[in-house]
Amino acid sequence: MVYLDHAATTAVRPEAIADMTEEFGRLGNASSLHGAGRRARRAVEEARESIAESLGCTPNEVVVTGGGTESDNLALKGLFWARNQADPARRRILVSAVEHHAVLDPVHWLAESQGAVCEEVPVDSHGRVSPADLRAAIARDPADVALVSIMWANNEVGTVQPVHELAAVAREYGVPFHTDAVQAVGSEPVDFAASGVSALTLTGHKVGGPVGVGALLLARGTDPVPVLHGGGQEREVRSGTLMTPLMRGFATALRLAAEEREDHVHQLARLRDGLVATVRERVPDAVLNGHPDRRLPGNAHLSFPGCEGDALLMLLDAHGIECSTGSACSAGVAQASHVMLAMGADTETARSSLRFSLGRGSTRADVDALGEAIGPAVERARAARRKRRAA
């Protein structure tokens, strides 16, 4: 098997597994006051401190959640409700046109059922938002803007946004700025304090931690209305029994990802460049999508003219090569990528694309295996498409 889908999920680090295994063998609820509870609470708070140190924030800015989707929902719904309740005129939510569905779907739900107005800020042909376009969108009527949400790095094409500049624009107008940094953490130098953002989403399973745990970083003074009510855990922002073993594994994986980031990024970028060159050698008309420079080091998103992405994916899978047509959350849904469409691609191009994403454990042998398989797979996919059209 050649695994080229690390953007969807990546292997859990052995160090994280060891920490979680140790913790799973212990008894105690971190909300209990007896000895076992206090021990669990100590493990939770040590994990929180480690997470904060890895991300340039303070421990009390770390709200632990069940993952990236929950963090996005808490940020978007909670901040909208908080702002709208304080001032009903604040109804407008500004998002980029290339957001993950974990952002787009909650915003659309708020528009359909909670009186919000969703406005998409356009992107250029590389998938980037211009600070000038964000400024124009806010300045049209600053008094009605509830919040802004623009991802740090795109999950499909890998384009990295100018988050610091975008957050500065929102801050000028006193508007909370949320960023989904799920893909960026571990690849980009994510420093919460330095970024100037109000809220930041991340998750464990993209950095070598377990599935089922993530965090929402909330700057001081950023207080969303809770989505979950119950025991009042996590500053009463996110109730629920704290997942002590998962938090330990998450914190360990995040610490190692931060420590190794520079070497890891250099290795991935070199391997990615080799992958793109190899694919283009076998399929000369393949097109690399996303920003040419400001992109994630492990991401190679390519369009293959004359192919259908789903068919090409399955042909590669039959050769033991696993990749994606885009977001794993949309796998199996036969529709053009909204990211590619927002970048100006036509529907045919948007549906002819594959994402190859590298991670820890990826090797030159993986690239060579893809090189051997991609040419014949493209030929078969094109032939099948021509046959269907002729029928």
**What are all long-range contacts of 221-225, with beta carbons under 8 Å and residues at least 24 apart?**
222/79, 222/176, 222/198, 223/82, 224/74, 224/75, 224/77, 224/78, 224/79, 224/81, 224/82, 224/199, 225/77, 225/78, 225/81, 225/82, 225/85
Sequence-separated (6 or more) residues with CB below 8 Å from residue 123: 96, 97, 98, 129, 342, 343
pLDDT at site 328? 47
pLDDT at residue 385 in the model = 84
Q: What is the mean pLDDT of residues 54-66?
A: 98
pLDDT reading at 33 higher than 60: yes
Stated length of the chain: 391
Flag whether the pTM goes above 0.85: yes
- Distance CA(301)–CA(324), nearest Å, equals 9
Q: Which of 261, 270, 273 is CA-nearest to residue 208?
A: 261
Q: What is the mean pLDDT of the chain?
A: 96
Catalytic choice (57, 118, 323, 329): 329
Which helix (H) or strand (E) is 381 found in, with range?
helix 364-390
Q: How confident is the model at residue 386 (pLDDT cuts 50, 70, 90)?
A: confident
Give residue 157's pLDDT: 98
Cβ burial, residue 46 (10 Å; 0-12/13-18/19+): middle
Residue 377 binned pLDDT confidence (cut-offs 50, 70, 90) = very high
Lowest mean pLDDT among 232-246, 280-294, 314-328: 314-328
Please state which CATH class domain 2-8+261-390 belongs to.
alpha beta
2-8+261-390 and 14-256, same CATH topology: no
Q: Pull the structure tokens for residue 50.
A: 């480690």
Write out pLDDT tens, residues 293-348: 999 999 999 999 999 999 999 999 999 999 998 644 445 556 789 999 999 999 99
CATH architecture of the domain 14-256 equals 3-Layer(aba) Sandwich (3.40)
Annotated domain spans of the chain: 2-8+261-390, 14-256
- The CA-CA-CA angle for residues 193, 199, 204, to 5°, reads 95
pLDDT at 355: 97
pLDDT band at 387 (very low <50, low <70, confident <90, very high): confident
Distance (Å, rounded) from C-alpha 369 to C-alpha 159? Answer: 26
User: Would you state the pLDDT for residue 333?
Assistant: 53
Three-class SS of residue 352? coil
- Active site (annotated) includes residue 323: no
The SS3 of residue 2 is strand
Percent of the chain with pLDDT over 70: 97
Picking from 205, 331, 356, the residue whose alpha carbon sits closest to that of residue 274 is 356
* pLDDT tens, position by position, 197-225: 999 999 999 999 999 999 999 999 999 99
pLDDT at 389: 80
Name the percent of the chain lying above pLDDT 90: 95
Render pLDDT for 115-126 as a digit per residue (tens, 0 to 9): 999 999 999 999
Task: Tokens for 239, please give them.
Answer: 């109730």
